[in-house]
Amino acid sequence: MKLTVDSGSTKTDWGFFDTPDNLKTYGTQGINPCHQSEVEIRSIIDSELVTKATGTDFGTITEVHYYGAGCATAEICSQMAGILAAFFPNAAISVESDMLGAARALCGNSEGVACVLGTGSNSCLYNGREIVDQVPSLGYILGDEGSSAALGRRLISDCLKRQLPESVCREFLSKYGLDKDTIIENVYRKPMANRYIAGFAPFLYEKRSISEVHKIIIQCFSEFFTRNVINYHRPWLPVHFVGSLADNFAAELAETADSLGMTIGKIVASPLEGLVQYHK
């Protein structure tokens, strides 16, 4: 039996399978070794995955293909592989970036531009085998254009700086029980600020028909394309997307791409099924 894992900062999908038609999936909270300690990651796997996958003998897993947010260096990948080895002692373990996972799930063995839009954002140029060019994501402080975190950050800022209609700001602050002090406390003094900020993106989805909100969404996606995708200089290639945000805002992504002369390819909420097909 094999295990393929797609891990983001907010959620992680674990797919156990022997054939693509016999797939069992379990969800846990997100794992990001850049923001969480080894102890925290072990605790998540032990308390959430082990508890849910009670009918699965982890000792029978022969291959683990883990694609994760934050797995950007050899040192971090090695650390993550060591954590997984404690739970899957008989498995050959491969740890790669979530970006390579997205490219393999979206493009398979074909050339294309693959993008991740979720809590964070990322992109790459993929030649059908490996990533050949990548504009760095830089995280939610320096980058992550077009992500849930970027959208949430813009929403918070525009509300507090009175850039949106008063009725929209009032409803936003009331719905989440927010004021300036609460926001500052959670963003600057508490851990996992990226998750906190990203959690407000659904409000933009609800209000996307309001012209001022629609403008925010298009501007954030335009920044993603112009600061990332355009740098690959491949306008003839389809641009594929994976992530819950991309799936929800598919129409706005298509509108933005069209205005910039680019073509949208696949948009899927999760890469897990595509990765299962890749590793079958």
Specify the residue for token string 């490219």: 103
pLDDT digits (tens, 9 = 90+) for 108-158: 889 999 999 988 899 999 998 899 999 988 877 887 899 999 999 999 999
pLDDT at 77 exceeding the cut of 90: yes
Q: What is the pLDDT, as a whole number, of residue 20?
A: 66
Specify the DSSP element, H or E, that contains 5: strand 2-7
Q: Which of 126, 113, 145, 121 is nearest to 229 (CA)?
A: 113
Specify the residue for token string 């992680």: 12
Q: How many domains are contained in the chain?
A: 1
Q: What is the pLDDT, as a whole number, of residue 54?
A: 85
Please state, in angstroms and rounded to a whole number, the distance separating the CA atoms of residues 155 and 10: 19
Q: Is the residue at 53 inside a domain?
A: yes
Question: Can you tell me the mean pLDDT for 9-38?
Answer: 86
Q: Is the residue at 27 inside a domain?
A: yes
Q: Which of 261, 4, 237 is nearest to 123 (CA)?
A: 237
pLDDT digits (tens, 9 = 90+) for 188-227: 998 888 889 999 999 999 999 999 999 999 999 999 999 9
Quick one: residue 162, left, alpha or beta (phi over 0 = left, psi -120 to 50 = alpha)? left
Q: Is the residue at 71 inside a domain?
A: yes
User: In which band, very low, low, confident or very high, does the pLDDT at 22 lie, cut at 50, 70 and 90?
Assistant: confident
Question: Can you tell me the mean pLDDT for 70-99?
Answer: 92
Q: What is the pLDDT, as a whole number, of residue 193?
A: 87
Q: Which domain holds residue 68?
A: 2-101+272-279
Question: Can you tell me the mean pLDDT for 246-268?
Answer: 94
pLDDT at 72 exceeding the cut of 70: yes
Beta bridge partners of 4: 15, 65
Q: Which alpha helices (DSSP H) does 68-113 contain, by range?
A: 74-87, 98-107
Q: Is the residue at 57 inside a domain?
A: yes
How many CB atoms neighbour CB 233 within 10 A?
Answer: 9
pTM, two decimals, is: 0.80
Q: Is the residue at 181 inside a domain?
A: no
pLDDT at 98 exceeding the cut of 90: no
DSSP one-letter code for 11: E
Q: What is the pLDDT, as a whole number, of residue 230?
A: 94
Q: Is the residue at 261 inside a domain?
A: no
For the chain, what is the mean pLDDT? Answer: 91
Please state, in angstroms and rounded to a whole number, the distance separating the CA atoms of residues 129 and 112: 11
Q: Is the residue at 151 inside a domain?
A: no
Q: Is the residue at 60 inside a domain?
A: yes
